[in-house]
Amino acid sequence: MKNGIIKWFILAVVIMTMAACGSSGGSSTSSGTSVSDGILSQGTPSVPVTLTLGSAYSGTVAADGMSFYTFTTSSTGTYNIQVSGINIATYGVPIMQLYQGSNSVGGCTNTTGGSSLYYTAVGLTANTAYTVRIIDAGSSGLTYSITINYGTGNTGSSNPAYTVTYNGNGNTGGSVPIDLTNYVQGQTVTVLANTGTLVKTGYFFVGWNTLANGSGTTYAPAQIFTMGATNVTLYATWTTNVPGSAFAYVTNGSGTTVSQYTIGTNGALTPMSPATVAAGTYPESVAADPSGKYAYVANNGSKNVSQYTIGVNGALTPMSPATVAAGTSPIYVAIDPLGKHAYVANSRDNTVSQYTIGANGALSTMALASVATGSYPQSVALDPSGKYAYVSNGSNTGYVSQYTIGADGALSPMTPATVATGSNPHSVTVDPLSKYAYVTNNFSNSVSQYTIGANGTLSPMTPATVATGSYPQAVIVDPSGKYAYVTNTISNTVSQFTIGANGALTPMTTATVATGSGPWSITVNPTGKFVYVTNVINGGYTVSQFTIGSNGSLTPMSPATVAAGMFPCSITTVGTH
């Protein structure tokens, strides 16, 4: 009787914690695997039976309702465990559970009434022992056939289950939190806190991101998201800035300065002291590296790039040397997601200059100093995976140049080398999941929208464009990948869109929000809470500031604008609150 009570207690716990059958994190083997069939309560299995991967082994659930198999992996990879021939009508709903030692690493229960269970264990560690338990929820005597395959897919009627794995992303101490839950698609996930006290020398922990380089979706501890149809890895996000500090930088294109601001917890900008730092002549674009340690400014008039370190208080300090040479009329600078390379669009010599970023943040020209573009390159977008680059070329017969990024950071034209846009394309951006790209067309009053193929090439969606206001200048996608915003320079508005499951843009109910005079550049802060727009028309020279609502719509802050220098044509932010 005592064993029966223990059995049903364990069974109840397993039933409450199991998800529907599917995939999870783990490890497995690519060659023959030792398997033991025995009774859990006996403690000692019967004589091991060697199971050849892909071959079936027949077994019967033991008298206490549980049987188990142990196997030791010989390589890291994905293993698929299939249990078939189940008579649910007679024996009730069976359960499969996978353990590594005493830790549950996955499993499933048949929720569909079918005759099989299947479970995909992803990323099991090589040379590690795992135990598969099969539990008969009705009574003992369940007869079944078990097969373990390495790296192949299963077909069955059970619903897949997915996992959330945490990665320290370069941590030098502490341990990652562990989520042992198996989630089904549509289930809510609560993001764990830094419970293992992760640390990284010289950095501060600020949250989690779906990509190691921090360009994916950002999540704070206790934030909730909905599980999709794939496993999720959340990477620790690190910054050199003091936690809770955030900063903004604006190039003043008709002068020789960059304005610098602190960002309050409510998102409002406050000028630093000093309010500006020297740049080159006609600074047109500013970008910061992913770590928030360095900033770079493309100077149109002086044909160079200014480079700065970012202090703990956000203030910019010129490096030594303070500038590096670029091409003719450098008007846009972009940093790759890993912070290893920089690219500058030179609008008058139809090239992109390419640089490596040293350990101290300084730029060095690559062996191939520049690559050809189309006519009048205007902006550069790098996909979050760091594999592809896209350059908008500002001609009446518009097009985007597309490149692969080599291991050394050098750009190579794709085949085809270009894809058509609307008239006079200006700004190009890529969504956080590297699935979609969007381009503003100044003269067409539209945004071109594309899907990104497995090889990085762009394919126009249907429809190929969506309408905007007059003279759309810049486009940005928020960190969640749910919303897109476009500045309309002549209309003095920002168009706001939702992004559908297929990447297509749909205007929000309130299609536009008012800005200052001549909205030009736009950025979303890393947390996806705030939007900033530079306004360039004479007499304006301001930055509009907005909060992002739960539905993605923008609401002006109070005050709605802050002062900038002459022709503030680019803005970027670093840090989070």
Residue 276, number of CB atoms within 10 A of its CB: 18
Q: Quick one: 263 and 367 in the same domain?
A: yes
Letter string b/e over residues 386-395, b meaning 16 or more CB atoms within 10 A of that residue's CB: bbbbbbbbbb
Instruction: Please name the helix (run of DSSP H) or strand (run of DSSP E) that holds residue 88, with its range, or none.
Output: helix 88-91
Q: Quick one: 302 and 251 in the same domain?
A: yes
- Provide the 3-class DSSP secondary structure of residue 3: helix
Residue 189 pLDDT: 87
pLDDT tens, position by position, 83-115: 665 555 454 556 667 777 766 676 665 555 555
Rounded CA gap, 444 and 308, in Å?
37
Token code pair at residue 362: 């300084």
β-partners of residue 505 are: 499
Q: Quick one: 198 and 275 in the same domain?
A: no
Q: Quick one: 200 and 305 in the same domain?
A: no
Q: Name the domain boundary from 183, 214, 239.
A: 239
Torsion of CA 369, 373, 377, 380, to 10 degrees: -70
Q: Quick one: 260 and 317 in the same domain?
A: yes
**Between β-strands 232-239 and 164-167, what pairing exists: parallel, antiparallel or unpaired?**
parallel
Domain tally for the chain? 3
Residue 468 pLDDT: 98
Rounded CA gap, 334 and 411, in Å?
13
Residue 243 pLDDT: 59
Please enumerate in sequence order all residues whose Cβ is within 8 A of that of 387, keeping only pairs 6 or more positions apart, or say none. Answer: 404, 405, 434, 456
- Provide the 3-class DSSP secondary structure of residue 186: coil
Task: Assign residue 216 the CATH number of its domain.
Answer: 2.60.40
Q: Quick one: 56 and 88 in the same domain?
A: yes
Q: Quick one: 389 and 506 in the same domain?
A: yes
Q: Quick one: 66 and 167 in the same domain?
A: no
DSSP 111: -
Rounded CA gap, 181 and 163, in Å?
7
Token code pair at residue 301: 């008039």
- Provide the 3-class DSSP secondary structure of residue 69: strand
List the one residue out of 191, 307, 309 whose CA is nearest residue 241: 309
Torsion of CA 21, 27, 33, 35, to 10 degrees: -50
Residue 126 pLDDT: 74
Q: Quick one: 27 and 65 in the same domain?
A: yes
Rounded CA gap, 7 and 284, in Å?
70
Q: Quick one: 462 and 340 in the same domain?
A: yes
By CB neighbour count within 10 A (0-12 exposed, 13-18 middle, 19+ buried), where does 70 fall? middle
In a 13 Å sphere around the CA of 541, the CA atoms on its Cβ side amount to 14
Residue 359 pLDDT: 87
Rounded CA gap, 27 and 13, in Å?
24
Residue 147 pLDDT: 63
Are 392 and 437 spatial neighbours (Cβ–Cβ below 8 Å)?
no
Token code pair at residue 289: 């590296």
By CB neighbour count within 10 A (0-12 exposed, 13-18 middle, 19+ buried), where does 167 fall? middle
Q: Name the domain boundary from 206, 239, 272.
A: 239
pLDDT tens, position by position, 30-76: 223 333 333 333 233 344 444 554 555 566 555 445 566 666 766 67
- Count the residues in the chain: 577
Task: Assign residue 429 the CATH number of its domain.
Answer: 2.130.10.10
Are 344 and 336 spatial neighbours (Cβ–Cβ below 8 Å)?
no
Token code pair at residue 329: 């009329």
Q: Quick one: 284 and 303 in the same domain?
A: yes
Rounded CA gap, 207 and 561, in Å?
29
Task: Assign residue 128 the CATH number of its domain.
Answer: 2.60.120.380
Rounded CA gap, 41 and 22, in Å?
27
Residues of the chain with confidence (pLDDT) below 50: 1-50, 53, 63-64, 89, 91, 139-140, 152-159
Residue 28 pLDDT: 28
Are 218 and 270 spatial neighbours (Cβ–Cβ below 8 Å)?
no
Backbone angles phi, psi at 314, to 5 degrees: 90, -10
Q: Name the domain boundary from 158, 179, 205.
A: 158
Rounded CA gap, 256 and 116, in Å?
70
Domain encompassing residue 22: 2-158
Q: Quick one: 60 and 118 in the same domain?
A: yes
